Amino acid sequence: MSTTNVNMPLILGGSVYPFNRYRDGSHWRDWVRQAGTDALVDAGLEPRDIDAVIVASETDFLNLQVNPAPVVLGELGLAGRPVVRVEGGGASGGLALREALAQIMAGLYRRIMVVGFDAAAGHLEAGDVQLVYGLSFDAETDGMAGATAVTLYALSINEYMGKYGVAPSQFAHVSVKNHGNAIGNPWAHKPMEITVEDVLTSPMIASPYRKLDCSLASDGAAAVVLSHPDVAPSAERPRSRIAGSGVSSDYARLGDRATRHEFRAKREAAQAAYEMAGIDDPTHEIDFAEVYDAFTGAELQSLEALRLVADGQAAAALADGIFDADGSLPVNRSGGLIGQGGVPGATGIAQAISMDRLLTGRYPGQAPNELHRCGVIDAHGGICTLAAVHVLERLDP
């Protein structure tokens, strides 16, 4: 790994309003306000230190607020700051990081807060959320015909299973691992100990995916502060920086793709991020991965697209424990979308915060001597229609 660009932004701090299903009367503005306030504390900054804000949220259908960015500024005590709202489905948070990185590297602003949120769980009825999410694909030809997220992911993983001879019992372990990892994450929606048998006997949703193969739709928010290294306050602790960033896209319709069992956009985004970070061999140079596990099989498809394991080999590596919390390449130590939960606007930002803490030795329950150099975070929208991949690297004081 040999990043030479000295303008790559540092992560000064961040925080997450715990992902959950809130029916306690709290509003997404409350979640954003708390996450932003806590992020500034973690960064050791005051609101006056923030030059600009990037806001990520997936859809105003969920939040009943059109043009939410100025509202977010008001909640954060940052009224009047320059702000851009970013939306790309589940990739929204990752794209917001990308936008902040671009603005800092272009010299537009020096310190940027990136804030993501969505009220995806406790407000609309489940059937209505399903209808809204069905419009995340080609709404005309697919969404109106009845396509939902789980249906399209199921059609994709069925082709993967046919190509590589993988069975549902093999990717069920992703659910066991990620729900278990979430137990150590105070921000997680569904921390729990389960077995492969629990996954395989949970209700069928869309064959082959059962209920415990599916990620969670959650409420919540996350905020992270990025800074040009020249204006970062001095620190005695390690920090992380964004060392690489890549974005790519695929046909909106799954059926238009020549190969539907793999995530081509993610492969291209990862390649761009790795090149920027100077990574030649991700299998050996990446220490942690937080990947977009919308469904158990999607974690395997993502790991292969990220080149963290050879094509068709993810299930075998999973069975060998390589991706466990104590394995050689822990994947979704946070619990991922399956254990931590899925807040489309916030997920990519929460991934960056978890990875920052893992790399700087600040993650809950992390052993004092557990020091790692490099991690990759990965968010996508649609059925990997839009992918954003970032590489984070630890910098010692």
**Exposure string for 174-184, b = 16+ CB within 10 A, e = fewer:** bbbbbbbbbeb
The secondary element (H helix, E strand) that includes residue 111 is strand 111-119
Site string for another protein, 246-285 (x = CB under 8 A): -----x-xxxxx--x-------------------------
> Cα–Cα distances in Å, from 23 out to 28, 33, 218, 284, 350?
11, 18, 11, 44, 22
Neighbouring residues of 262: CB distance < 8 A, sequence distance ≥ 6: 160, 301, 304, 305, 311
Residue 373 lies near another protein (rule: CB under 8 A): no
Q: Which of 108, 204, 310, 319 binds another protein (CB under 8 A)?
A: 204
Smaller CB distance to another protein: residue 55 or 214? 214
Which conformational region is residue 126 in: left (phi greater than 0), alpha (psi within -120 to 50 degrees), or beta? alpha
Nearer to another protein, 128 or 320 (CB): 128
Nearer to another protein, 150 or 225 (CB): 150
Interface with another protein in residues 4-43 (CB under 8 A): 23-26
CB atoms within 10 A of CB 239: 20
Residue position matching structure tokens 């992703």: 174
C-alpha to C-alpha distance for 333 and 287, rounded to whole angstroms = 11
For another protein, the closer of residues 68 and 94 by Cβ is 68
Q: Indicate the residue among 111 and 261 with the shorter CB distance to another protein.
A: 261
DSSP 262: S
Which of residues 59, 156, 227, 240 is near another protein by CB under 8 A? Answer: 156
Instruction: Give min distance, CB of 371 to another protein, in A.
Output: 44
* 300 counts as binding another protein under rule CB under 8 A: no
Cβ at position 94, least distance to another protein in Å: 23
Site pattern 110..129 for another protein (x: CB under 8 A): -----------------x--
User: Smallest distance, Å, CB 125 to another protein?
Assistant: 11
Among 3, 37, 65, 158, binds another protein (CB under 8 A): 158
Considering the complex, state which of residue 143 and residue 345 has its C-beta at the smaller distance from another protein: 143
CA distance 63 to 58: 9
Which runs of consecutive H residues, i.e. helices, occur in 76-167? 92-105, 126-134, 149-164
What six digits make up the tokens of 227? 């800074």
The SS3 assignment for 348 reads helix
By beta-carbon proximity to another protein, the closer residue of 59 and 185 is 59
Question: By the criterion CB under 8 A, which residues form the site for another protein?
Answer: 23-26, 127, 130-131, 134, 138, 140-148, 150-152, 154-156, 158-159, 162, 204-208, 251, 253-257, 260
